[in-house]
Structure 1
Amino acid sequence: MIGANRSFQKYREKQILYRSLKLKNNKKQFIKMDIQQFNRETKGFFKAVDNGKEAGRMTYSWAGKDKMIIDHTEVNPEFKGQGVGYKMVHAAVDYARENNVKIIPLCPFAKSVFDKTEEIRDVLVG
């Protein structure tokens, strides 16, 4: 299924909205963060955007039609400690579940999220 989608769409964007807690003036408030997916034939990335500003980016490559290799995660220093990388990994997990894709987390940060979060390991390769 995913292979067919990628062969017909060389470029695709998907937006996922996440709500997270952010402290502002010592008060907790929910913020909305867009996680956008840009998927190309052999690679792609998830981009986190908060109020029009790029908060982070997580890149991946395709290994065949049903395996995604997460190879790098980077967070804008202004957004450090706000769970941006975690949200992007979870967006990849959601995508993998919806499209019967398995993930290989070569990025040390993504691997650490999988190591710490048992309930998302169902999308890992073997």
Structure 2
Amino acid sequence: MDWQYENGRIYSTDENGELMCEATFIRKENGEMDIDHTYVNPVLRGQGVAAQMMEVVAEYFRKEQLKTTATCSYANIWLKRHEKLYPDILSEDTSDQAVACKIDGKH
């Protein structure tokens, strides 16, 4: 994947510019991040792309020394499953974070 980084977004497109996968995140009032959305194009689902994308997001947060929670249900589960690999990016609020799927920009 050729990862693109924008403010609040990490994503990849194909050679035609079609969105293949995306993670979005927002800065909370306390300065920590919230991963609020993940997406994988249907043609790539079931191939481990979402997990690969979350590794890229986690490494980005590590490099930027950011703490995070996740209201996106997939991201929340992924963070909890990988808490031993990425303890430095996990917010203290991670275990108490309410989750909801974000569809069309709304929870």
Give 1:95 shift. 1.2
Which aligned segments of 4 or more residues in structure 1 are displaced greater than 6 angstroms? none
The structure with the larger Rg is: 1
**In the comparison of the two structures, how many residue pairs are matched?**
90
The 5 A counterparts of 1:47-58 are 47-52=11-16, 53-58=18-23
**Which whole-Å deviations, capped at 9, do the CAs of 1:70-115 have from their partners, x for residues lacking one?**
0011111000012221122111111111111101111100011112
TM-score by length of 1: 0.63
- Cα distance between partner residues in 2 of 1:97 and 1:70: 14
CA contact (8 A) 1:35 1:48 kept: yes
Alignment of 1:60-79 (within 5 A): 60-64=25-29, 66-79=31-44
Distance 1:37 1:109 in 2: 20
Gaps of 5+ in 1: 1-32
Instruction: Give the whole-Å Cα distance in 1 for the aligned partners of 2:20 and 2:30.
Output: 29
**Which of 59, 63, 72 is matched with 1:94 structurally?**
59
Q: Which structure 2 segments of 5+ residues have no match?
A: 93-107
Q: Which amino acid aligns with 1:80?
A: R
Partner of residue 120 from structure 1, selected from 83, 86, 90: 86
